[in-house]
Amino acid sequence: MGINLGEVFPNLECDTTVGHIKLHDYWGDGWGILFSHPADFTPVCTTELGTVASLIPEFTKRNVKCIALSCDPVESHNNWIKDIQAYSNIKSFGYPIISDPNRDYAIKLGMLDPAEKDKAGLPLTARAVFIVGPDKKLKLSLLYPATTGRNFNEVLRVIDSLQLTAYKKVATPADWKSGGDCMVLPTVSKEDAAKLFPKHVVKDVPSGKEYIRITPQP
């Protein structure tokens, strides 16, 4: 199973470190991120959840609410949070962790890592990232193996791009960062481009096709 881009993200009803929630209610009318980790009390996961906790002001600035998930019980999550805070030297944690002991959500969302198993031989969750828009539709998904920690500054960069391109007729090029030049969408006519992006320039290429149109970030 799994979920495709553009599909409505399941409104999971789940037990978390802040009580029983419905995911869509938790995210409200803003953007949301759900990210999974293999297991509590493991080294790479500790660095990841600590990093996210330290970046909560940046996510909040972008109207994004975070929530994590693994197969461990809520009690385990709550005890582990103390280690995360100590390791990352943070006082506030700032987001809930979902408990998925039966792998219901992991199976539904296609997050299981067959190479990583618990002591009972059951598969653990991989390092998935799902970014969901205010319309509750999936805008981006990433899937990492257990051995590779994620770069959450890259997740913030992606959110900046998603939020910009959701409302402006531009795309963001490789290695783009907020404030950098953008590309005018191919679907924008030459006439409309002149009106919408008066400072845009067309790059000459051997084909002679005028499809690389660069504009300051709108």
Q: Which residues contact 74 (CB under 8 A, 6 or more apart)?
A: 15, 16, 17, 97, 99
Assess whether pLDDT exceeds 80 at residue 121. no
Same domain for 184 and 118:
no
Domain count within the chain: 2
Same domain for 190 and 135:
no
Here the CATH number for the domain that contains residue 182 is 3.30.1020.10
Angle at 69 between CA 134 and CA 51, to 5 degrees: 85
Residue 5: inside a domain: no
Q: Is 32 helix (H, G, I), strand (E, B) or coil?
A: strand
- Cβ atoms of 186 and 203 closer than 8 Å: no
Residue 106: inside a domain: yes
Residue 42: inside a domain: yes
The structure's pTM equals 0.93
Catalytically active residues, by annotation: 45, 135
Same domain for 173 and 67:
no
What does the pLDDT look like over 146-184, one tens digit per residue? Answer: 889 999 999 999 999 999 999 999 999 999 999 999 999
Assess whether pLDDT exceeds 70 at residue 1. no
